[in-house]
Structure 1
Amino acid sequence: MVTTVLILAAGKGVRIGGDLPKQYQLLAGIPILRRAILTFLNHPRIDNVQVIIAEDHRALYDVVVDGLDLSLPVIGGTKRQSSVLNGLESLALKNKPDLVLIHDAARPLSPSIVIDRVLDALETSTAVLPVLSVVDTLKRKVKARQTSINYVSSNEWWRTQTPQGMRFDNLLNAHRRAVAENISASDDGALMEWVGERVILVKGSEDSMKITIAEDFALAERLLAGAMETRVGIGFDVHRLVDNINCRSNGVLLGGIVVPHDQVLLGHSDADVGLHAITDALLGALGDGDIGVHFPNSDPQWHGAASNQFLSYACHQVRKAGGDIRHLDLTLICDFPKISQHREAMRNCIAKICDIPTIRMSVKATTTERLDFLGCANGIAAQAAATIAIPVTMPL
């Protein structure tokens, strides 16, 4: 089944304070809306993500989703219910899914296990809500006397969260009927109950909190303080040295700089073996293939291409995923040319390409004691390790 997520981000979000609507404010360095989007873009069972925004937020939205593979946003209505309907009608016209998840942008930390629970339950039902039981004692204020209260049993109440999962056709029909009969509902689960659908409840998560006021924001920041995982990727590359018969340069290109030598490296691109190895290491840490997947040597557009653009792309992929490059370690393996006097220039150059402090970049060199291919000065090899920190799905 095809599953699409509608992310509701058309609200004004003013109760939290600040100069921006809350969905566009930074949460641990990443906009709340972008975090919500990435939650579903990175989930293997989600096929499409469609965002619903306010018409006057388009400029803010474009900045927040830069680099993400998304279709154009849908403009929301004046209320939540009309925004959902706008999203559903848009999907019905262009790319109708079998299942739809309705999610609040203000819940950026929903764990993948909750998404899985909703999708699992939808295999045998038409509507699913993630909920949490109320464990506190509830009290209801009586308007006539502000000091009077009635006690309500907490066992009778549930806290509803998102994503709420529905069969697409069933939910669209419910919304259209609600418009025809002028019915308002608090959420999509209530609307499905109103049309007689059986709604299944699954366990939600405390991490799926809705950020509404400043205290919620502070709590989410604390949750995210430890919600980064460290990943290490390893890259290796080797290129043949050939005579510089075309006088392409006055040396060999290594680590982004030209090292004086009477030979050059042979390759489809500029053959910078050091930058290639680092690129592969970063892509490996992301689990995102290798340099040949993204820049195949069968594609003529990469013939003679500068390798710094490959490395810049890999760095962008890390940051697009909300990650941070913590350290890069490059080892060049060759007998000639000698690397030691060029090490600092390489460090500075690579750090600049990757937009990281030089202290996070290491360049080393070793020889093979004149053994085999490299020891015969027929080529240069490079090995790199990349350490990145990347956001994780909140604890299960």
Structure 2
Amino acid sequence: MFIKNLHLTHFRNHEDTKSTFEENINCLVGKNGSGKTNLLDGIYYLCIGRGAFSYTDTQHLQHGKTFFSLKGIFDKEGRTNTVQCIVEKGKAKVIKLNNKPYPKISEHVGNFPCVLLAPNDTDLIRESSELRRNFFDTIISQIHKNYIQLLIKQKLILRQRNQLLKDADQQEKFLKKDVLEIYDEQLLPIFKEIHRFRTEFIQEFMPIFSEIYHSLADEEMKINYRSHLEEEENRKSKKENPTFESIFKGNMLKDLILQRTEKGTHRDDYKFLLGKKTLKHYGSQGQQKSFVIALKLATFAIIYKQTQIKPILLLDDIFDKLDETRIKNLLKLLSKSDFGQVFVTDARPERTRKLLDSFGRPIAFFEVKDGSISSNL
């Protein structure tokens, strides 16, 4: 699968940008702030249905404009597909496939798989568990259509349950328990199904990730999935009695006091380890950058394995903070024909040409300047 044509209108610093891309490697060069990353964000948006760097659609609007639109023409298994996205202030977002709007935006996720590697990806290591959950949820959603529906249901029921917890005053708290139990009966099977998806995913993902990381560097890296439901499985193995269901229900009083739902898969986390130590505290910049590169290339590999569709691979400023050995190993990986369409951005065209000169695949170069893109150089 690859994108043939892209048209951005009022999207970030792109007033009216059109371009035709090649099926293999497309290299976007230009100064910092010229709009290279925004082009990748536009492609990502068309594939996933939201931006890569912001969950707020209005932040993608060009200054002073009331709408933005994106249009991409994709070749998927030899068939041409047109994806359009229109976001206008005060109106619901519309995504169309071949001129037909999706009844639900979530139905678009997974139809045009895409993987983005960006400089701020090391935030996955340093920042909150929510960021890591969202990252892995996006991967699983591109593989399993029904998974995203579980996430939507979980979010809706949790919002209603938490609102009830906040609204209940001291006298009403115990009267609201019956209503809370209704929400709990809906949440518990969703928690268990989400936990199952995540557990099965990480078991298949880890060997792929480890193999790719070892081709970049020699350190031992691990990803541990942590969940309240995982704790239940550990208790079962130790023949301890409490189940997650009983613990969750027994936590109701604490939830009422804190006015939020404390236990469940919405609190899951993924721990990144360098050997037995946390990568966040003990990993160097090069190790952390190598980790997220392996994370993203493993994402490509598992999506391709599960769907038989090669995702579009977007690589934004990937050579930053990597030593020569790691760059050499990365380029060796990328030169393989396993990858389909690849986009690479760099602010130093001379470096990019030199690094990519040894590739055995066709490379198209484009210059991005002031929110516009040149023809193939």
TM-score with structure 2 setting the length? 0.25
Task: Select the structure of larger CA radius of gyration.
Answer: 1
Q: Larger RCO: Structure 1 or Structure 2 (Cα < 8 Å, ≥ 6 residues apart)?
A: 2
* More strand per residue: 1
TM-score with structure 1 setting the length? 0.24
